[in-house]
């Protein structure tokens, strides 16, 4: 029977008051435990969104730089709504006439044209939810446009010059086909070896997914040898752009001809949108941090005040007991120790409960007490008319696929370190909150205490 | 009873200030108590009985004069030294027992020893012996709420004896008890005094209790009127006896 037994028995004796105090302390400590990892999770989440915006901003800058001397031409796409047997959903079925070798040779013969990059994009159809994407990997000039090849390889490697019979799948398609790097997949009855998996595939105006391969492979696959759906044309100077555009229109008036040069203003406007979104993300995060810190402060003050009042009440209620202890020769430090220990025990019981609550309910509680972080990001692409646009989409830990709900719940985990932090805070606040009542108890004069309530 | 002094008070004055007024319940008081004495202090309410007991028990200080507990003058000691003296040399018995309600009988007795720094096994053994001595064998695990008032006061007496104090100070120890329990507690105190030679000072309103002691004192106007009670009629609670002694 030591000081610990006395302190815990004293708490047990005042069951109702102790229980009320423990409930209040548990609520405050739950906030104290949940807030730091939740703020951290939101910080990481927002940081990802900001990084993603920066990444898109960099791509945009590259595009703007290159597109000053770049012209893109293709035939307009016609779109029809059609059911997909893969997704079980209605999808856009697209048709795009191809540019044949004759037209290609005519384009190549236009003066001032220095490079011609063919791309074959065979769109998703009602029997296939993914795009077949052929890139001229043997042509060194494709590196003028960094986004032509997959830019986010997460497994395996990217396509390189000389590759044949190999493909890069995006993550969603790889998962759908159950294929991983090194395995063989069948695309339109042809076997291909998967050499790489690419991460998030920008979702601009495309419903479905894509498989990337060499241009010759793609041409054989869709039975279009020598043809391409789009040509990226590079001219020798910005001054030649207008002339070449006119020459292209003369070759075939139905051709869709877009010069990057013309898109500089659009690009600047898109950059402004990205910057604005970035500002929103930053201010959103600052708001989360300020709210979190304020709530943390309120929780700490509540915890200390609850202990202060319950212990002050306890000291007043037990004046005779304290007087008796002092008359029996209890030193100041023993009285001080017992009351501080009682405050700490209350908070330790509360923190154990708070940890239990936190383990199961952190995600839900944090969504109630903290603002939701920014949920959208952008991707850069072209609409069917060839104009540069920003696609907005919901951003999360995983890329959001069509039909998938975005969630406002940001998971935060209660690690053993967080538990230890909670315990440490509980002990410190327990000591801090009960210090003044304990000092009052220790200063009680036994002779006066004996007269109390007589 | 030996010639050794347990307590010696010289010219003790205690003055309280009550607003603008000063009250002196004890004025120039002298008292000597030898080892093994059993003394009762009586007097009307407000006569300073409890104040005297508190000063002797080092939980209050004298305004003037000297108070020796054994060889030590406690008048000028620091609070921590007084605390040590209370713990090692004084045993208190209170009118309302003042047991800790959340500890059982044994733990209440052990508490006094724990405060004195005694170790677990030794504490437990002595607590059981003391409870047996006050007639509470088999009741060690009972909390105060499950003990009768008489039994609670027995536990309090066992607790007061725990550190083998030089002096037991009992403030109205029978004040809250019925006649039967009162007799039992007084018998216990008498027994302790006679068989174990424990020095006891009892403050009481009860003449029948005072009649059981060897020295009876009456506090009046801050001074002690004293009478030896050699005819102490132990066990016979005659309410008129004490008044008779003082009236003579």
* pLDDT > 90 in chain B, percent: 35
Under an 8 A CB cutoff, do A326 and B94 touch? no
Give the residue extent of every domain in chain A: 3-55+271-451, 76-254
Q: Å from A314 to nearest chain B CA?
A: 14
Under an 8 A CB cutoff, do B87 and A329 touch? yes
Q: Å from A447 to nearest chain B CA?
A: 6
Q: What pLDDT sits at residue A341?
A: 94
For the segment A356-372, the average pLDDT, to the nearest whole number, is 87
B59 chain-A contacts, CB cut-off 8 A: 326-327, 445-447, 450
Model confidence at A302: pLDDT above 90: yes
Q: ipTM score here?
A: 0.87
- Facing residue for B102 by CB, picked from A13, A446, A447: A13
Q: Which residue is closest to A449 within chain B, CA to CA?
A: B59
Q: Which residue is closest to A447 within chain B, CA to CA?
A: B59
Q: Which residues contact A214 (CB under 8 A, 6 or more apart)?
A: A134, A135, A136, A137, A138, A159, A163, A164, A166
Q: What pLDDT sits at residue B145?
A: 92
CATH 3.30.565.10 fits B5-247, yes or no: no
Ramachandran sector of residue A415 (left: φ over 0; alpha: ψ -120 to 50; beta: rest): beta
- The verdict on B95 touching A (C-beta cutoff 8 Å) is no
pLDDT in tens, B50-109: 889 999 999 888 899 999 998 888 888 888 899 999 999 999 998 888 999 999 999 999
pLDDT in tens, A428-440: 999 999 999 999 9
d(CA B210, CA B204): 7
Model confidence at A126: pLDDT above 80: no
Ramachandran sector of residue B37 (left: φ over 0; alpha: ψ -120 to 50; beta: rest): beta
pLDDT in tens, A206-261: 445 889 999 999 999 988 888 999 999 988 887 888 889 889 989 998 888 887 66
pLDDT in tens, B97-152: 899 999 999 999 999 999 888 888 889 999 999 999 888 888 999 999 999 999 99
- Facing residue for B110 by CB, picked from A1, A327, A330: A1
A–B: how many Cβ contacts below 8 A? Answer: 70
Residue with the larger pLDDT of the pair B52 and A83:
B52
- Comparing A120-134, A179-193, B148-162, B189-203, the range with the smallest average pLDDT is A120-134
For the segment A367-380, the average pLDDT, to the nearest whole number, is 77
Q: What pLDDT sits at residue A93?
A: 66
Model confidence at A88: pLDDT above 80: no
| Mean pLDDT of chain A, nearest integer | 83
- The verdict on A6 touching B (C-beta cutoff 8 Å) is yes
pLDDT band at A353 (very low <50, low <70, confident <90, very high): very high
Q: Which residues pair with B32 in a beta bridge?
A: B8
Under an 8 A CB cutoff, do A6 and B87 touch? no
3-state secondary structure chain B: CCCCEEEEEEEEEEEEEECCEEEEEEEEEEEEEECCCEEEEECCCCCCHHHHHHHHCCCCCCCEEEEEECCEECCCCCHHHHHHHHHHHEEEECCCCCCCCCCCHHHHHHHHHHHCCCCHHHHHHHHHHHHHHCCCCCCCCCCHHHCCHHHHHHHHHHHHHCCCCCEEEEECCCCCCCHHHHHHHHHHHHHHHHHHCCCEEEECCCHHHHCCCCEEEEEECCEEEEEECCCCCCCCCCCCHHHHHHHC
Residue with the larger pLDDT of the pair B111 and A384:
B111
Nearest partner of A127 among A187, A215, A213, judged by Cα = A187
pLDDT band at A393 (very low <50, low <70, confident <90, very high): low
Q: What pLDDT sits at residue A335?
A: 92
Under an 8 A CB cutoff, do B80 and A331 touch? yes
- The verdict on A330 touching B (C-beta cutoff 8 Å) is yes
Residue with the larger pLDDT of the pair B246 and B83:
B83
Count of alpha carbons within 13 Å of B92, Cβ hemisphere only? 29
Q: Å from A343 to nearest chain B CA?
A: 17
3-state secondary structure chain A: CCHHHHHHHHHHHCHHHHHHHHHHHHHHHHHHHHHHHHHHHHHHHHHHHHHHHHHHHHHHHHHHHHHCCEEEEECCCEEEEEECCCCCCEEEEEECCCECHHHHHHHHCCCCEEEEEEEEEECCECCECEEEEEECCCCHHHHHCCCCCCCCEEEECCCCCCCCCEEEEEHHHHHHHCCCCCCEEEECCEEEEEEEEECCCCCCCCCCEEEEEEHHHHHHHCCCCCCECEEEEEECCHHHHHHHHHHHHHHCCCCEEEEHHHHHHHHHHHHHHHHHHHHHHHHHHHHHHHHHHHHHHHHHHHHHHHHHHHHHHHHHHCHHHHHHHHHCCCCHHHHHHHHHHHHHHHHHHHHHHHHHHHHHHHHHHHHHHCCCCCCEEEEEEECCCCCEEEEEEECCCCCCCCCCCCCCCCCCCCCHHHHHHHHHHHHHHHHHHHHHHHHHHHHCCHHHHHHCCC
Model confidence at B248: pLDDT above 70: no
pLDDT band at B239 (very low <50, low <70, confident <90, very high): very low
Count of alpha carbons within 13 Å of A293, Cβ hemisphere only? 5
Give the residue extent of every domain in chain B: 5-247
Q: Give the phi and the psi of residue A301 in degrees, each rounded to 5.
A: -65, -45
Kind of pairing, strands B167-171 and B90-93? parallel
Q: What pLDDT sits at residue A166?
A: 95
Q: Which residues pair with A167 in a beta bridge?
A: A194
Q: Å from B54 to nearest chain A CA?
A: 7
Q: Which residues pair with A94 in a beta bridge?
A: A79
pLDDT band at A395 (very low <50, low <70, confident <90, very high): low
Under an 8 A CB cutoff, do B59 and A446 touch? yes
User: Which among A296-300, B150-154, B190-194, B228-232 has the top mean pLDDT?
Assistant: A296-300
Residues 119-138 of B with CB under 8 A from A: none
Q: What pLDDT sits at residue B2?
A: 64
Q: Which residues pair with A83 in a beta bridge?
A: A90
Q: What pLDDT sits at residue A284?
A: 85
Q: Å from A329 to nearest chain B CA?
A: 4
Q: What pLDDT sits at residue A128?
A: 75
pLDDT band at A24 (very low <50, low <70, confident <90, very high): very high
- Comparing A151-165, A263-277, A322-336, B21-35, the range with the smallest average pLDDT is A263-277
Q: What pLDDT sits at residue A14?
A: 85
Residue with the larger pLDDT of the pair B216 and A380:
B216
Under an 8 A CB cutoff, do A328 and B79 touch? no
For the segment A305-320, the average pLDDT, to the nearest whole number, is 93
- The verdict on A17 touching B (C-beta cutoff 8 Å) is no
Model confidence at A401: pLDDT above 60: no
- The verdict on A10 touching B (C-beta cutoff 8 Å) is yes
pLDDT in tens, B166-185: 899 999 898 888 888 888 88
> CB count, 10 Å around CB of A291?
15
Length of chain A counted residue by residue? 454
Model confidence at A98: pLDDT above 80: yes
Residue with the larger pLDDT of the pair B153 and A47:
B153
> CB count, 10 Å around CB of A2?
9
Ramachandran sector of residue B70 (left: φ over 0; alpha: ψ -120 to 50; beta: rest): left
Model confidence at A141: pLDDT above 90: no
């Amino acid at each position: 029977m030591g000081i610990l037994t006395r302190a815990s028995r004293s708490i047990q004796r005042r069951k109702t008051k102790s229980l009320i105090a423990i409930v209040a302390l548990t609520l405050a400590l739950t906030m104290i435990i949940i807030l730091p990892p939740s703020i951290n999770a939101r910080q990481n989440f927002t940081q990802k969104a900001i990084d993603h915006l920066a990444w898109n901003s960099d791509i945009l800058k590259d595009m703007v730089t290159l597109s000053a001397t770049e012209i893109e031409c293709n035939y307009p796409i016609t779109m029809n709504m059609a059911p997909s047997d893969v997704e079980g959903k209605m999808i856009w079925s697209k048709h795009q006439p191809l540019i044949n070798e004759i037209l290609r040779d005519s384009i190549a013969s236009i003066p001032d044209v220095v490079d011609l990059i063919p791309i074959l994009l065979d769109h998703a159809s009602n029997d296939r939810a993914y795009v077949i994407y052929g890139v001229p990997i043997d042509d060194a000039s494709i590196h003028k446009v960094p986004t032509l090849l997959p830019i986010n390889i997460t497994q395996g490697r990217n396509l390189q010059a000389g590759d044949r019979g190999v493909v890069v799948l995006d993550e969603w398609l790889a998962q759908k086909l159950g294929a991983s790097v090194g395995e063989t997949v069948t695309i339109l009855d042809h076997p291909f070896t998967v050499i790489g998996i690419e991460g998030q595939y920008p979702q601009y105006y495309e419903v479905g997914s894509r498989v990337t391969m060499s241009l010759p492979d793609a041409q054989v696959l869709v039975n279009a040898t020598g043809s391409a759906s789009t040509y990226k044309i590079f001219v020798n100077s910005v001054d030649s752009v207008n002339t070449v555009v006119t020459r292209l229109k003369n070759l075939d008036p139905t051709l869709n001809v877009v010069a990057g040069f013309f898109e500089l203003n659009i690009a600047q406007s898109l950059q402004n949108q990205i910057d604005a979104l970035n500002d929103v993300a930053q201010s959103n995060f600052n708001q989360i941090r300020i709210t979190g810190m304020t709530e943390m402060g309120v929780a700490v003050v509540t915890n200390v005040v609850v202990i202060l009042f319950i212990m002050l009440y306890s000291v007043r209620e037990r004046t005779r007991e304290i007087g008796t202890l002092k008359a029996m020769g209890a030193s100041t430090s023993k009285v001080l120790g017992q009351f501080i220990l009682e405050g700490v025990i209350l908070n330790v019981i509360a923190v154990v409960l708070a940890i239990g609550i936190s383990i199961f309910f952190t995600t839900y509680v944090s969504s109630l007490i903290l603002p939701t972080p920014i949920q959208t990001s952008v991707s850069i692409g072209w609409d069917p008319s060839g104009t540069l646009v920003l696609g907005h989409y919901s951003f999360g830990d995983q890329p959001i696929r069509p039909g998938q709900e975005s969630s406002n719940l940001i998971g935060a985990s209660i690690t053993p370190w967080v538990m230890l932090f909670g315990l440490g805070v509980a002990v410190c606040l327990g000591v801090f909150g009960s210090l003044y009542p304990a000092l009052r108890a220790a200063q009680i004069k036994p002779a006066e205490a004996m007269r109390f309530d007589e | 009873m030996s010639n050794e002094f347990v307590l010696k008070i010289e010219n003790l004055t205690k003055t309280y200030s009550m607003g603008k007024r000063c009250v002196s319940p004890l004025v120039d008081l002298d008292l000597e108590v030898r080892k093994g004495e059993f003394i009762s202090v009586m007097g009307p309410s407000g006569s300073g009985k409890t104040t005297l007991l508190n000063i002797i028990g080092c939980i209050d200080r004298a305004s003037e004069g000297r108070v020796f507990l054994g060889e030590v003058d406690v008048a000028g000691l620091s609070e921590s030294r007084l605390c040590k003296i209370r713990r090692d040399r004084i045993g208190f018995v209170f009118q309302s027992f003042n047991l800790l309600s959340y500890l059982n009988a044994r733990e209440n007795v052990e508490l006094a020893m724990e405060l004195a720094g005694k170790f677990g096994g030794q504490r437990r053994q002595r607590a059981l012996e003391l409870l047996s001595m006050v007639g509470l064998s088999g009741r060690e695990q009972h909390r105060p709420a499950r003990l009768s008032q008489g039994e609670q006061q027995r536990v309090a007496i066992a607790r007061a004896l725990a550190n083998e104090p030089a002096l037991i100070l009992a403030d109205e120890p029978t004040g809250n008890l019925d006649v039967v329990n009162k007799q039992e507690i007084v018998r216990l105190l008498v027994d302790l005094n006679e068989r174990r030679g424990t020095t006891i000072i009892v403050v009481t309103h009860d003449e029948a209790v005072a009649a059981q002691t060897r020295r009876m004192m009456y506090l009046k106007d801050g001074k002690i009127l004293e009478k030896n009670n050699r005819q102490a009629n132990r066990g016979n609670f005659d309410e008129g006896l004490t008044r008779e002694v003082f009236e003579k």
